[in-house]
Structure 1
Amino acid sequence: MTGPEVLDFARDAIWLTLAMAGPIMLTGLTVGIVIALFQALTQIQEMTLVFVPKIIAIFVSMLIFMPLMGALLSAFMAGVIERIVNP
């Protein structure tokens, strides 16, 4: 493998990581902002109110986006195998 090929592989791996983690992170961010806004509007200062809805939302988003993440990872692995077989 040459230097540019290694850089292409690393770039693809970073983009794959962002594509797989992005939807789940955005879900957690959205739920966190909504709960923080709710707490600010109602002046409820309960710290545990943040965690339970965020954990549930992240778990549900993982279930929803699991096929997408599997397809992305499968395509990336097929590309890696293709690079190994055909240098």
Structure 2
Amino acid sequence: TLCGTPNYIAPEVINKKGHSYEVDVWSLGCILYTLLLGKPPFETSSLKDTYSKIRKNDYLIPENRISREVVLLIQRCLRHEP
């Protein structure tokens, strides 16, 4: 059964692959992005599109909104294999 908040679910979970602590690192990256930028990195108007963006790792970090160090941290968390 797939459970969790759709905007924070890691690709491994969506694809029903085995997973470990890496999915928590992914969720941490999503939460950090949301706290700093005001919306989840993969949010769309439909669940199908949100999952598609997660699978493709399709997100943008607006320039000059957060420090370079934090951008790098988010990027490291939102890797398919952090």
Normalised-by-shorter TM-score class: 0.3 to 0.5
Using structure 1 for the length normalisation, give the TM-score.
Answer: 0.33
Which has more helix, going by share of residues? 1
Using structure 2 for the length normalisation, give the TM-score.
Answer: 0.34
| Structure of greater relative contact order (alpha carbons < 8 Å, 6+ residues apart) | 1
